Structures are given as structure tokens and as C-alpha cells.
Amino acid sequence: MTGNSRPLILIADDDPDILSLVTLRLERSGYEVMGAGDGEQALAAAIAQPPDLALLDVMMPKLDGYELTARLRGNEATRHLPIILLTARVQESDIVRGVEAGADDYVRKPFSIQELRERVQAALGR
Amino acid sequence: MTRSTSAGRPPRLVLRFAVYSALALALAGTGILWVVRHEAQVHAERELTSEATSAAATLSTELRKADLTEPVTSPGRLAALDALFAPELMSGVVRVKLWRHDGTVTYSNEHSLIGTRVEAEEIDEVLAGRTVRERGRLNDEGGTGKNIKTISAYVPLRLAEEQKPRGVLELYNDYRPIEAQVVATVKPVALTLGLALLLLFGSLFPILHQVTKALEHRSDRLAQQAEELERILNERRQAVAGLHEAESRYRALVEQLPLVTYIARLDAWSSTVFMSPQIETILGYPAQDWLDDPQFFPRVLHPDDRDRVLAQHADAHKTGRSFSIQYRMIARDGRVMWFEDSVTIVNDAEGKPLQAQGFLLDITHRKAAEVALSESEERFRTLVANVPGVIFRCSIDDDWTMEFLSDEIDELTGYPASDFIGNKVRAFASVIHSEDAPILTQEVEAAVAEERPYTIEYRTLHRDGSIRHVVERGQAILGRDGETKLDGAIFDVTQRWTAENERLKLASIVESSDDAIMAASLDGRLSSWNSGAERVFGYTAEEIIGKPIAILAPPGREHEQHSLFEQITAGQATAHLESVRRRKDGGLIDVSFTFSPLRDASGAVIGASAIAHDITERRRAEAERERLLLELADQNERLRELDRLKDEFVALVSHELRTPLTSIRGYLELVLEEEAGALTDEQRQFLGVVERNAHRLLALVGDLLFLAQVEAGKLSLELGAVDLSAIAVESVETARPLAEGKDITLTLATGPLALITGDRARLAQLLDNLISNGVKFTPPGGRVDVRIKGQRGNAVIEVRDTGMGIPSEEQHHLFERFFRTAKATEQAIPGTGLGLAISKAIVDAHGGQIAVASADGGGTTFRISLPIRQAQPTEEEPVEELAL
């Protein structure tokens, strides 16, 4: 945690368009955002500077969202980090898998920015 | 005799009298004439004789001795004699003969007769000194000339001085002059006589007639009187005979009548006052015994009858009513005798009972006969009842009217015999099966006509509706009343018939079986072989019966048969033994054998039955199935692989399609929120189009993914308590802008409805689909009405539109994926053809039903019914997949 009053959110997505869209939206909503283009980057960033919240895409090269969640939960620094999974998958098995890996919530793609904001605020408020 | 017949009598009688008197007169006349004639004749003949005698006297001198000793032959002497006897000298003489004493004619003026000899007795008579006359015909003794009637006179001839006649002279006189003389004498006499008689007859006839008439009249009267007399006499005779008969009859009756009269007091013992004497001959006790002992009557009464009889007597004494009673008395010799006692109570002038008088009739024989009859009847009844069939006698009519019918009929038809007697309740014809009735009639008529017994099988109907098979044997007999009747017996052969039928059925089953069914004796020889066996093994029954069953075993398996028969002998069956057998053509077949022991009626094993089922085909099929199963497993493996690939594909599509769409939406939102600067109206309008299409694309992807899940059976519902009415309100409001844009009236009617258990998001999707469909396919100005209501434990959603309707041939395909009606395509109504498929999937997942009612051009109604399950109090957490 920094002294900065703005919460730091880690966003990981292999789609740069979505990455920059979410970054832009969250920054404009008053959050500190750090982005990552794949799972490994995201893991490194999170360990280097633990964020207040992580938004993780499920389908990413190198390290997918489930695996990343599991790793973060396995690390002392990020053990209690709130994690929201972003997924285009709709099947129940996907959600179950996410919860098992340690995610706190999930948001289905496509999402509206309003919905995302609400979920982020909810996760941070906990 | 009557008057009319006697009227014809007088003429006949008169005639008779006339004839008789005429005959008498004629006879008298004839007699007189005969006497006169005879006298005339005799006179004439006498004259002739005297003439001959005188001639003979004259001749005695003229004749020579020689003329009478030898036939005269010398012409001189002949001429002299001819001159002597010249006819001129002797009137009426037509011939002369001189006879020698020995009958030789010595001379005749008919010379041819000289020397002829005739044995004439007259000659001796004449020689003895008598004259003889003889009538005859001239040529009776030869000669010529006219053979006229003559009378000849024989006179003796004496020569001169001789006393003794030397010969006889016969003179033939013509009789005609004599006759004429007689007639001349008789004729006037006859005439006079005839006239006199005629006169006499004439004067006699009227007298006769009168006398006859009077006689007849009297005779008629006499006849009538005689007749009358005879009649009276007859009557008398009959009356007398009748009297005699009646008298003898009554006497006999009285003497022989086993009837005893008595008079008794009206006391406790009915003590006897008078008893007629016959009692002694009947019971052996003299009448006096009865009078002496007041208790005699009860004493001779049979002990078993005593109380009954005395009670009856006592009762009559009180009531004064006459009665009749039968009872027994014990005779003196110990015999039990039956009597009929007819008792009359005699009242005195004041009407009070005075005494009893009665008749005792010996009915012992009648009783015995009654007993015998009832015993005989009982025997007959028992016999009939024990016959295992129905005995009958009936008329030969349309009803088979029964005169007698045994009780067994109840068993056969369920109706008592009395129902049928005289067709009282029903005719016997009514229990005959209608199809058999004509045959029965025909057979009976034929049998009656040919005077033979008949046997016929037919069916009868039982009261309980069952059909019985019977055999009837019968024969026509001439009844006592002269009518021809039918006597016979009916036997129920239903069981036999059923058994026979069963047997035939079994035989037919065996025969028609595809399996080989055979039987063998215990020594292993085949005794039965069905057509299935012929097909399976190729042997005909003729070929194989009698051959050992081992003929069917292929080499090396003969021992099987041996052990099988050991088991059979022990009474054990072997089922489903799978083995190999050899056909006639040598080919081997797989068979499944079942061997069972065959038993006789006593249960002893007498052989074996075998059923062989050809399983060659089954074996082949089993092999084929195993092969197919392996193939199937292979395919399943491939399918599982494909399934996995599909899952991956779905995941890929989800990700790969949604991810770019997420970007498109996100940036559009940014732009539209004017985060990147103010927009002109035109820019905003164009971006709106982009957003709308992005939304459509997303919806399509969502639908495809949904159906993929359904297909994969991976659709899962997030169940919760759902308020359908609330959802309906939302869905209607969502569709309202679209409806208003098309000028369509959109209404919602909701009735009271409990919460249902369901997936809120899916149900909302369902309602959205149906309502937007309705609006989409309804032309402007129409209406779409939504109704939600509860109905018998179901929640019912109805969406009715006034749209173009769905042709019935298209309704079947309505819920198929990607199906679009022809009209939707024609009119370019946007859509993917997935909406209704999804709707149906949602309804199915909720255990409900969806139905469509539509007429081409007449609007469409979708009706959905969802079961209302008691909503579990779970947290409702809708997951908005496609929310904007």
C-alpha cells in the first residue's frame, strides 16, 4: 500500500485495446492503474508492487487468469489481494474453476463500464 | 212295414191269383181233352185190331203151311199172296208182314223185307194168343216208300184146322186217318170246353180281385199289430233284462263292497252305536264286538294314527262339520289295513249335533298301489336324476315344447326344468344357439321321416352367457295321445369339446412352430416330427420316424444323446442345451435343445420330447453385434473427441468474438459519452447505428452460445422464486417503444399468481422473445395482448397477436433452429430463426410446455404453461448476460 490515497488497480489483458480502454476508464474514475499484457508480467508487477485490486483476464498467453490467481494467492504479498476475473466464457465450469483458483468475483465480457465500476467499488469496499 | 209299401201289393197278388186260376182251368181243360182224345184213339185202335183179327180168320184158309215156314220166293206164290193182300182189299193197310215164329219175315207186300229177321218180343206174346198194338214209323224195320206214322197190329195166324197159331200177321195201318178221326172228335169238345173255362175265369176275376184286396188290407193290419206287439215285447224284454242286471249288480255291489256303514256317539272314543256286518269280513271282528266295547274303535286304530283320528273326530263333534280322513286299523289277524272314513255329523231337530255316521272304505289296495306307484316314480326320478344328461320328451314343433325334462337342464342352461315344461317361461328353442337351430330341425325331421334314431351335436346358451356344446340322441315315438313325440337325452360335452379343441390348438401350435419339435421313445427312436423339424433338419417325417434320434448328432457327439436319455429316464428335463446337430444334407447347425420327459397318464416316463431351436442365425447375429459394438465404441470415442473439440470451439468463439465486441462497445461508450470531445448530431446518429449493430451481433453470439449449451446438455438454470407478472411488466415496457413505433396496441393482463420456481433471466428472455416476435410479425395498426394467469397448478403465459399467422404446415418446424417462415423471409423481417428454439429450450428446462395456435392470416397465439413449484427460499441472484 502506498501513501497515495488513490487505490492501485492491476489490470491484466492480452488484448491491448481492452487493456487501454479499461485503464482509461478506471483512471478517469480516479484509480491508479498499472497494466500488464500477459500473466507473467502481471504476476511480476503484482509482486513488485502489490495493488489494491487485480482485474485479470482469464484467457491470456503464458499464464492464464486461473493460474495467475493461484500464484497470487500463493504469494505472501498478494495472498489477500481482491481479484476480479474478466471472462468471455459463459459456462458454469469456467466460473467454478475461477472460484476454486481463489478469485473473489468475475465480470463477463462484454461488460458495460458502469457494471465494471460497481464491481470494482464493491471489491475495494470489502 | 209301412203303408207306402203295402200299396204295391194288391196288383201283384191279384195277378198271382189270376195266373193260378188260369193255370188250374187250363189243366182241367187239358185233362178233359186228354181223356176224350184217349177214348177216341182206343176206339180207333180197337177197330183196327178187330179188323186184323177178322182178316187173320179169313186168311187161315187162304194161306198155305209153306207160306209161314219158309220165306216165299216163288213168283207165282208171291203174285198170289200180293193179290190176296192187295191194298184195295184192305182199307188203310199200308204194309203186310207174315212172321215165322222165330221172327223171320216170310212174306211182305214190300218184297225187299222178305227173309229179314227181327228179334221181336211181340211175336212170342202174339204166338201165346194175345193181340199186340204198336205205334211207329213205316220204315223202322227197313223197306221202301213214304216213312209215315203207322200203327201196326199183330195177330196170330192159324191155319185151317189147326189150333196152334203157325205164325203172326202184322198189319201196318196208316195212323193219320185215325189221328184225323181223333182230332175231329176232340175239336168241338175242346172248343166248347175252352169257351166255358174262359167264361168261368172272366166271372171269377173280379171276385178274386175284391177278395184279394180285403185280404191284403187285413194282412197289413195284422202286420202292423205284430210289429207293435214285437216292439212292446222287446221293450219288456229289455226292461226285464235291465232290471235283472241292475239287481244283480247292486246285489254284487252290496255283497262285495268293502264299505262299512256305522253310527257312532259323539264321545271321546267315538263309541260305536251301529256297525254294518261287512266289518267282520274285512277286519275279522264281528260287528257285535264294536257295540259291546265303547273303546273298541280306538283299540283297533293303528297306534300311530290314533291321536290324529280321535282329535279329528272330536273337532267334528264340536263344529258339526263333515270330514273325510284316511287311517290304519289293525285287523284281527294282525294285518294293517287302510281305510277312508267319511264322517257326517247328524243334527237333531234343534240343530244340535246328535251323532256321527260314516262309511269306512277299505283302501288298503289303493294305498299299496299308491305306494308302489310312488316308489316306481321315485325309482324313475332317481334314475333320471342320476343320468349324467338331460332326459326329455317334447313335441316336434318350433318351440320343442317340453312334456318332460329332467332337472339336469338347470346345470346345462341355468334355468329350472319347470320353465320349459309347456313353454311356461321360455321355450327350449330359446336356449339353442341360433346358428345350430336349423341343423337340429333338419336332422330331427329327417330322422322322424326315416323312422330312425338320430345323434346330433349343437350348442346351447347358458343363462350366464356361456356357450355349451351338447350331443343329443333321440328318437320319435308315438305318444299316448296319437301325437308324434321326441324322446331323447342331451349330454353336455363342452369339456370334451374344449379338450379336443385345446388338443387341436396345441397340435396346430406344434405343427406351425418354427422350432423343430419331436418326440422319441425311451429307446431313442423318433415317434413324432413336426414340419419345423423338417425345415430345420431337412428330413421329412416319413423318412425319419422310427429312426434313432442319434442320427441327428454329428460324429463325436453321439454320447450326448446317451446322457440326455439317462436324465429323461430319471424324469429330469434339460433346458437350452446349446449344441451342434447335423442336417440331412450333412451341414452342421447350431441348435438350442430342450429335452423334457413324456409321461403317460400314470406319470410314468414313456419317452422324451425335444424342441430344437436353430440358433445358427442367432450365433451369426451375436457375432455381428459384437463387431458392431466394437465399432460403436470406436465411434463413441471419436464422438467424445468431437464433443471436446466442440466445447473448445464454443469457448474459442465465446472469447474470440466477445473480446473484440467488448472493445467496440467500450470505445463506443467512451465516444458517445463525449469523453473524446463533443459530437455533432450526425456523428451521434451514425455511432448509434454502429452501437445497434454491435448489440445485434452480441445478441446473436449469445443465442448461438446458449443453444450450444442446450445442445451439449449443459444448460443450467439458476433457480429462484420468480414473479412472472413483474417480469412480464418489464418485458412489455421494453417492447413498448418498438410497438408504438409501429402503431401497435400492446396490452398486458395479469391475474393473481403465486411465485414460481425458475430462472429469472431465462424467463425474462423467454417473454422478451415472444413479445418482440409478436410485435415484429404484426402489421401496423394491429395489437399484441399478453396475459399471465394461474391455471390448475400451472402458470400460463399467453401472447396473442393479430399478425400474419403461421400456415399449419409450417407450425411443426416453428421450434427448430434457424427455421424462418416463408413470409418472414419474403417480407424481410429481421431475425435469426433462433428465438423460438431458445424459448422452447427455456420452457423445456423449466418442465413446461409451449404451444402455438394460428390460422394463416388470422393471428397467432403462443401459450406457455409452466409448473408452479413451491419456490425454495434461495437467494435470487440474476446474472444479466446480455444486459446493456
| Residue extents of the structural domains in chain B | 13-183, 257-369, 387-498, 513-614, 615-715, 716-867
Establish whether this prediction's ipTM goes over 0.85.
no
Nearest neighbour of B654 by CB, restricted to A22, A28, A89: A89
For A66, phi then psi, to 5°, come to -65, -50
Q: Please give the residue of chain B at the shortest CA–CA distance from A88.
A: B655
Inter-chain touch A109–B659, beta carbons under 8 Å? yes
Inter-chain touch B716–A18, beta carbons under 8 Å? no
**For residue B187, what pLDDT is reported?**
83
Question: Rounded distance, CA B63 to CA B300, Å?
Answer: 139
Burial B773-796 (b: 16+ CB within 10 A, else e): bbbbbbeeebbbbbbbbbeeebbb
Minimal Cα–Cα distance from A20 to chain B, Å? Answer: 10
- Name the 3-class secondary structure at B85: coil
Element (H, E) at B643: helix B616-672
Inter-chain touch A110–B667, beta carbons under 8 Å? no
- Name the 3-class secondary structure at B140: helix
**For residue B879, what pLDDT is reported?**
40
Nearest to B642 by CA among B650, B830, B285: B650
**For residue B66, what pLDDT is reported?**
79
Question: Rounded distance, CA A37 to CA A23, Å?
Answer: 12
Q: Which residue has the cell 473439440?
A: B645
Minimal Cα–Cα distance from A3 to chain B, Å? Answer: 29
Q: Tell me if A118 is assigned to some domain.
A: no
Domain span at residue A101 reads 8-108
The DSSP 8-state label assigned to residue B278 in this structure reads: H
**For residue A101, what pLDDT is reported?**
86
Inter-chain touch B663–A90, beta carbons under 8 Å? no
Neighbours of B625 (CB within 10 A): 12
Interface of B with A (CB under 8 A): 650-651, 654-663, 665-667, 669-670, 675, 698, 705, 709, 714, 716, 879, 881, 883-884
Question: Rounded distance, CA B69 to CA B73, Å?
Answer: 12
Residues from chain B that touch A112, judged by Cβ atoms under 8 A, are 665, 669, 883-884
Inter-chain touch B675–A28, beta carbons under 8 Å? yes
Minimal Cα–Cα distance from B734 to chain A, Å? Answer: 19
Residues from chain B that touch A92, judged by Cβ atoms under 8 A, are 714, 716
Burial class (CB in 10 A: 0-12, 13-18, 19+), B552: buried
Minimal Cα–Cα distance from A110 to chain B, Å? Answer: 4
What CA dihedral angle connects B496, B498, B502 and B504, to 10 degrees?
70
- Name the 3-class secondary structure at A15: coil
- Name the 3-class secondary structure at B433: coil
Residues from chain A that touch B698, judged by Cβ atoms under 8 A, are 110
What CA dihedral angle connects B501, B507, B511 and B513, to 10 degrees?
90
Count of domains in chain A? 1
**For residue B255, what pLDDT is reported?**
52
Q: Which residues contact B532 (CB under 8 A, 6 or more apart)?
A: B512, B513, B514, B515, B516, B517
Helix axis angle, B681-711 to B616-672, nearest 10°: 160
**For residue B374, what pLDDT is reported?**
86
Q: Tell me if A120 is assigned to some domain.
A: no
Minimal Cα–Cα distance from A55 to chain B, Å? Answer: 15
**For residue A90, what pLDDT is reported?**
60
Cell of B361: 272304505
CATH, domain B257-369, list 3.40.228.10, 3.30.70.20, 3.30.450.20, 3.30.420.40: 3.30.450.20
Nearest to B579 by CA among B601, B596, B599, B559: B559
Inter-chain touch A88–B709, beta carbons under 8 Å? no
Q: Give the mutation candidate from A27, A55, A92, A108 for the B interface (greatest B CB count, under 10 A).
A: A108
Peptide bond into A82 cis (omega under 30): no
Q: Please give the residue of chain A at the shortest CA–CA distance from B713.
A: A91
Inter-chain touch B666–A18, beta carbons under 8 Å? yes
Q: Give the mutation candidate from A109, A113, A115, A116 for the B interface (greatest B CB count, under 10 A).
A: A109
Question: Rounded distance, CA B604 to CA B634, Å?
Answer: 57
Nearest neighbour of A110 by CB, restricted to B658, B709, B879: B658
Nearest to B861 by CA among B740, B770, B772: B770
Residue B264 and residue B358 in contact, taking contact as beta carbons nearer than 8 Å: yes
For chain A, the straight-line distance linking the first and the last C-alpha, in angstroms and rounded, comes to: 16
**For residue B876, what pLDDT is reported?**
42
> Is residue A92 very low, low, confident or very high in pLDDT (cuts 50, 70, 90)?
low
Residues from chain A that touch B668, judged by Cβ atoms under 8 A, are none
Nearest neighbour of A89 by CB, restricted to B655, B666, B669: B655
The DSSP 8-state label assigned to residue B747 in this structure reads: E
- The answer to whether the B13-183 and B387-498 domains have the same CATH topology is yes
Inter-chain touch B709–A89, beta carbons under 8 Å? no
For domain B513-614, the CATH architecture is 2-Layer Sandwich (3.30)
Q: Tell me if A57 is assigned to some domain.
A: yes
At CB < 8 A and 24+ separation, what contacts does B565-568 make? B565/B522, B565/B524, B565/B608, B567/B595, B568/B522, B568/B595, B568/B596, B568/B597, B568/B605, B568/B607, B568/B608
Q: pLDDT of B330-353, one tens digit each? A: 999 989 999 888 888 888 777 778
Q: Tell me if A58 is assigned to some domain.
A: yes
What CA dihedral angle connects B713, B714, B717 and B718, to 10 degrees?
170
The DSSP 8-state label assigned to residue A7 in this structure reads: P
**For residue B799, what pLDDT is reported?**
93
Q: Give the mutation candidate from B648, B652, B661, B663 for the A interface (greatest A CB count, under 10 A).
A: B663
Cα–chain center distance at B26:
89
Residues from chain A that touch B660, judged by Cβ atoms under 8 A, are 15, 17
CATH of domain B13-183: 3.30.450.20
**For residue B251, what pLDDT is reported?**
55
Report residues of chain B scoring pLDDT below 50: 1-8, 871-884
Nearest neighbour of A109 by CB, restricted to B658, B716, B884: B658
**For residue B413, what pLDDT is reported?**
92
What CA dihedral angle connects B565, B569, B573 and B579, to 10 degrees?
0
Written out in words, the top-level CATH class of the domain with range B716-867 is alpha beta
Q: Give the predicted TM-score (pTM) of the model.
A: 0.36
Q: Tell me if A114 is assigned to some domain.
A: no
CATH of domain B387-498: 3.30.450.20
The DSSP 8-state label assigned to residue A51 in this structure reads: -
Q: Tell me if A124 is assigned to some domain.
A: no
Q: Please give the residue of chain B at the shortest CA–CA distance from A116.
A: B666
User: How many residues in chain A?
Assistant: 126
Task: Strand B167-174: give its sheet, edge to edge.
Answer: B105-108, B93-99, B167-174, B149-157, B132-137
Question: Rounded distance, CA B708 to CA B714, Å?
Answer: 8
Q: Tell me if A97 is assigned to some domain.
A: yes
For B354, phi then psi, to 5°, come to -105, -55
Inter-chain touch B655–A88, beta carbons under 8 Å? yes
For chain B, the straight-line distance linking the first and the last C-alpha, in angstroms and rounded, comes to: 155
For domain B615-715, the CATH architecture is Orthogonal Bundle (1.10)
Residues from chain B that touch A18, judged by Cβ atoms under 8 A, are 659, 662-663, 666
Whole-angstrom Cα Rg for chain A: 13
- Tell me the C-alpha to C-alpha distance, in Å, between residue B290 and each of B306, B312, B332, B345, B440: 16, 20, 13, 19, 69
Q: Which residue has the cell 407478472?
A: B725
Question: Rounded distance, CA B833 to CA B142, Å?
Answer: 177
Nearest neighbour of A113 by CB, restricted to B659, B666, B716: B666
Q: Mean pLDDT score of chain B, rounded to an integer? A: 83
Q: pLDDT of B115-154, one tens digit each? A: 888 777 777 788 777 778 777 787 777 777 777 888 888 8
Q: Which residue has the cell 182189299?
A: B89
